A and B are shown apart, each in its own frame.
Chain A
């Protein structure tokens, strides 16, 4: 029987046994509901928005009424019209966030602060067109921003932090499943029966792949749904963020390969008295430390040296790279370097964990020193 078949059988058992567990089904449903709830929340918050528009004196008569009418089709939006003395006064009001847009009828221009609000622009454009009795399709107004567009929008920050938090929790939860599975096999002693026909490396691979696929499936559903909603414009956020959010999925796979093998080795080294939680702690702490280092580095300066290093450092790359990509973008060479480094680390770790795992599993006594396990581990 070839290795692939054995690994497949082990992975399939993990998926079948755990995939129908209440824990897995419930957590998937809850996460999907959370994504669904976030769209409802978005809908509730954006209901009947009020656009505050400034216009230089003298304002044409009927403008306020035209704006009201133009706003009607946009979720019953309200428009507050404010007449300012001059363009300078209007710019000041815009800068101070007293108004959202400034209309200069003399030059047919509509000013925003840093981001064009397409709905507000459409409302004002329709109103002006109505006053002048012009027909579509040519727009009456040119939209302008006072400052260059912000690269980092609030939505990007949200995607970055929610994305990396999602990664952290998924890695930790599914990693802990791996420890739990390893400790259960060791404590129920079934591992001796399994290892009489299965090589430890294939048992390790099957377990990590099986549980990893479950985690990936859940993440694809949840992150995939959120990314699809972003791309469809359900959220008040740039659609390009959908790609950054989707980046979470391949990086989960890479991060999981890295951390789950460590979790498996930790489980194999645990003593029979130790609980799975305690056995997995060293790895969970590493994961948390890396997450907070990334959080601090990105909050301080997403384009700084520390953030750059953490983007490529194998242990932190899975958490930091997708977040940084959403915040400020990551150059292609850093994507490539991070990928190469993390793949090399996975290779080294699988070799190490495979060897420690085999010996650790069959060792019934107290907690095992990894160095001893490495020395005694089967090589074949």
Chain B
């Protein structure tokens, strides 16, 4: 298990990490969320010693993370990078060996990984000769060749088309099922809600929420209400304290209400003003929760 304990880092006047703590368990996927500049990248780099922390600890299986542990970690940084003029196969082999694999194991792993990514015939191509999408795949492969116990990916879904998003999500799912602890940052909240068991939301260098997606949603002080209403006036608003309209589209309304608001009261109000075709009540989505927590 990876444990980040009260890490702090200041860059001049900017406090990037202000006592950030969370943990990632083996076999689980954790979505690391937060607005831009919240400290996500700094926290991820700290795991690899790429940032000298002012305070706090990063530990793996109960011991402070050292160079030996990092050999069993895989990292895909936000700014992607490979050796442009090096052949794809040799490059993966090189990274495999840097992570401690012996020559034969590294070659086998590199070949196997390329086959699975559908790049089996491009092993001798230089990285710079590949398309952008394929370079992304090789980048991911470089983090996976040695079957890491902890996988850290900074914005792995950024810039991918929907098919690639699906493939990558499946792949990460597979890594977690293999037993790896998977930590990735993302701004695609629906996606995170779909594929992650756990989320951590950071803002201003601090964790503002963490837990399983379901627990966080249920623990929220707000509830979402969706109503499809026929025949109501365009400006209809339920006259219930603690309820506000988030979105209105023709007759469809999305409302946010306090947790203590009785949904039946809202339903009665709606029925008085028109024909209720559909009525949904439940905890807020992850995206709504995110906006609630990081509201500026």
Residues of A within 8 A of B (CB): 1, 6, 9, 13, 16-17, 184-185, 188-199, 362, 364, 376, 378, 380
Contacts and interface: CB of A to CB of B under 8 A. Distances in A.
- Scoring A13, A184, A197 by chain B CB atoms within 10 A of each residue's CB, the highest score goes to A197
A6 B142 CA distance: 17
Given A188-B84, A190-B81, A190-B83, A196 B48 contact: yes
Closest 10 CB pairs of A and B: A189-B81, A190-B81, A196-B48, A196-B75, A189-B79, A192-B77, A1-B100, A188-B81, A197-B98, A190-B82
B112 to A, nearest CB: 20
Nearest to A16: B90
Interface residues of B, number: 30
B86 interface: yes
B67 interface: yes
28 contacts: A1-B68, A9-B97, A13-B86, A13-B94, A17-B85, A185-B83, A189-B79, A191-B81, A192-B50, A192-B75, A193-B75, A193-B81, A193-B82, A193-B142, A194-B98, A195-B48, A195-B50, A196-B73, A197-B48, A197-B70, A197-B73, A197-B98, A197-B99, A198-B98, A364-B79, A376-B52, A378-B49, A378-B52
A364 to B, nearest CB: 8
- Scoring B49, B79, B81 by chain A CB atoms within 10 A of each residue's CB, the highest score goes to B81
Contacts of B75: 192-193, 196
Contacts of A184: 83-84
B94 A189 contact: no
A66 to B, nearest CB: 69
Contacts of A16: 90
Nearest to A379: B52
A280 B81 CA distance: 23
A58 B77 CA distance: 95
- Scoring A6, A192, A195 by chain B CB atoms within 10 A of each residue's CB, the highest score goes to A192
Interface in B77-124: 77, 79-86, 90, 94-95, 97-100
- Scoring A193, A198, A380 by chain B CB atoms within 10 A of each residue's CB, the highest score goes to A193
B71 interface: yes
B82 to A, nearest CB: 5
A180 B45 CA distance: 25
Given A1-B68, A192-B45, A194-B98, 18 more contacts: A1-B100, A17-B83, A17-B85, A184-B83, A185-B83, A188-B82, A190-B83, A191-B81, A193-B76, A193-B81, A196-B49, A196-B73, A196-B75, A197-B48, A197-B71, A197-B73, A197-B99, A198-B98
A6 B82 CA distance: 18
A380 B51 CA distance: 12
A17 B86 contact: yes
Nearest to B98: A197
Nearest to B99: A197
Contacts of A13: 86, 94
Nearest to A195: B50
Interface in B42-69: 45, 48-50, 52, 67-68
Given A189-B80, A191-B81, A197-B70, A9 B98 contact: yes
A197 B47 CA distance: 11
Nearest to A189: B81
A190 B135 CA distance: 12
Interface string B23-47: 0000000000000000000000100
A16 B90 CA distance: 10
- Scoring B50, B80, B143 by chain A CB atoms within 10 A of each residue's CB, the highest score goes to B50
